[in-house]
Every structure is written in C-alpha cells, then in structure tokens.
C-alpha cells in the first residue's frame, strides 16, 4: 500500500515536496519549506496520526493532512499530489485514508477545498462528497492605494507582546457562527503568530478608543511573480457591524502589505458573502478564479 502514516523521517522530504510544488524560486522555496514544517508542528495536529504520505519507492508523491475541529465536529482535509496522480487510484486511496481518520475521531463532516481545474471534484464525488460552497480568489494589483482617513476616535495598531488573549477574543467574536469557522484557543493563536509566513507587524487591530472593533491578519504566500501579500482574515466584532469599519480594517492590512514592497495583494472570500464581495470589488479587487468546497457527512451523525 503506497499510503503510509507520517513519521519523523518523512519531515524533510515532505517539506521539500510541498515547497517544490509551490514554487521553484529559491526565496519562495525557503518560505514554503519553513511554513509547511510549521504547519506540521502546530498544536493539536499530531502529524503521526493525522498526516498521510503517498510514496512510491521511497519518493513522496502526495500528502493529506486531517485538521480536526472538535468544537464544530468538523475535519478539514488538505490534499496535495503530483500532477500525474490526479484522479488515480493512489490519490483516491490517500483521500479515503484521511476520511477514515476523521470518521475514527467521531467527527460529523469532512471538508475538502479544491481548484476546479484540478479535476479532483469528480474524484471526491465518487466517495460521497458533494460541493457545498464556492470561494472566490481575488487580486488587487493597482499602482497606488488611495488614502482613507480613519473616523474620529479610531486608531490602528499592530499586534504586541501579550496580545494573544485579545487577538483570540476578537477573532472568535468576529467569526463564531460563520460557515466553517471553529473557535481558536490561545495556544493555537500564539503558535500561528510565530509562523514563518506571518509578521506580527502585519496583524492589525482597529480600535475605537480602547475598544477593539476588529482585526486584519495578513500573511505571505508564493505566487507566479514571487511572494504575494494576502489578507488572510478580516473580522469585525458584532457590536461594530454595519458601521462601515470593515473598509478601514481592509485598508490597514493593504497599507501594511504595500509598505513591505509587495505589489500584489490577494484574498479568498465566500461567494455567498455579498457584502464582503462588494467591499472587495469596490476597493479594486478582481476575481481571478474559484475554489470549491466539498463536504461529506460522516457515519453516526
């Protein structure tokens, strides 16, 4: 059987596999390599139980990670394989091993996100998945970012030492109840603030006085033209919704990314979230593609 559980001896080869499939550029390769190693070490993953490796003759050909979200009884499965494995029996086996792991944990649903052009959607439908959501890939690459003055009494500042409880509270308040969001622990948040693709200067809070109104979490990802800045999360706490503050939070994140010299800014947004899609389009973001989320309801739920 070519699919095996991850062991520590896979670490370097697996990170090299992921990095080489993300970008051949040496600078970006290093970013991808270190970021994936960070992913493997994150709290609660337990890679030896929840990472599956597809290999032939000792060569890595694919990987599947099972992220367990017990708070909402969901598992998110991430799959990456060599292009020649697309739709193959080996890729199918890799997916099935990951789903079986989610079932063994008693979780209610499994979710997998795929690019439409990957052809993996058909494979997922063979094993009981169906498409439930479409996310839009959006890109901003204009020459200048227009100025946007903060409303009176508001301010923006970056993440500081000992801000982990604040960031955890603001993020959970902003997203709890949203599709696919599982509340995070302080341990998880603290770990993610130290990931190689994250800068604490790029985690921004919007305050009214001393009251947090929301946050923006930016990251760096590989792209065709080099490193791309990404608006990873924008969250508005419930009492500030409908007050137009999301535009200021977005602008703060974009301003930070531009200050680092990055010319392209990307983001993903739920296609069903019309207010957010409208905000991004009015700011100059253009839809470049889609990502499809597939769901399988697991036995016993």
Per residue in 103-121, pLDDT tens? 999 999 999 999 998 888 9
Fold agreement between 3-134+292-297 and 143-283: yes
pTM above 0.75, yes or no: yes
How high is the pLDDT of residue 300? 58
For residue 83, how many other CB atoms are within 10 A of its CB?
Answer: 8
What distance, in Å, lies between the first and last C-alpha atoms of the chain?
30
Average pLDDT of the segment spanning 267-273:
95
- In degrees and rounded to multiples of 5, residue 183 shows phi and psi of -55, 140
CATH of 3-134+292-297, one of 1.10.1740.10, 3.40.630.30, 3.40.710.10, 3.30.230.10: 3.40.630.30
Instruction: Give the model's confidence band at 26: pLDDT under 50 very low, under 70 low, under 90 confident, else very high.
Output: low
CATH of domain 143-283: 3.40.630.30
**What pLDDT, in 10s, does the model give residues 240-258?**
999 999 999 999 999 999 9
Domain assignments of the chain as residue spans, ordered by start: 3-134+292-297, 143-283
Percentage above 90 pLDDT, the chain? 75
């Amino acid at each position: 059987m070519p699919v095996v559980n991850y062991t520590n001896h896979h670490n370097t080869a697996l990170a090299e596999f992921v990095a080489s499939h993300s970008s051949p550029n040496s600078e970006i390769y290093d970013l991808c390599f270190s970021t994936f190693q960070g992913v493997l070490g994150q709290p609660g993953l337990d890679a030896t139980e929840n990472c599956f490796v597809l290999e032939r003759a000792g060569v890595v050909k694919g990987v599947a990670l099972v992220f367990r979200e017990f708070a909402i009884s969901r598992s998110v499965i991430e799959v990456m394989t060599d292009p020649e494995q697309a739709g193959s029996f080996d890729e199918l086996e890799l997916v099935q091993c990951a789903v079986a792991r989610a079932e063994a944990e008693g979780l209610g649903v499994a979710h997998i996100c795929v690019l439409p052009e990957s052809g993996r959607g058909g494979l997922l439908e063979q094993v009981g998945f169906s498409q439930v959501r479409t996310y839009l890939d959006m890109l901003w690459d204009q020459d200048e970012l227009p100025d946007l003055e903060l409303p009176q009494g508001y301010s923006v500042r970056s993440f500081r030492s000992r801000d982990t409880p604040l960031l955890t509270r603001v993020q959970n308040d902003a997203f709890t109840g949203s599709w696919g969001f599982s509340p995070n622990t302080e341990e998880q948040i603290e770990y993610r603030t130290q990931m190689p693709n994250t800068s604490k200067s790029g985690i921004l809070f919007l305050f009214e006085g001393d009251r947090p109104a929301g946050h923006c979490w930016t990251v760096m990802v590989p792209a065709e033209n080099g490193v791309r800045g990404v608006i990873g999360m924008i969250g508005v706490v419930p009492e500030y919704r409908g007050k137009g503050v999301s535009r200021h939070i977005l602008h703060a994140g974009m301003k930070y990314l531009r200050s680092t010299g990055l010319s392209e800014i990307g983001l993903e947004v739920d296609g069903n979230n019309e207010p957010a899609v409208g905000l991004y389009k009015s700011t100059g973001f253009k839809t470049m593609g889609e990502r499809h989320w597939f769901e399988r309801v697991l036995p016993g739920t």
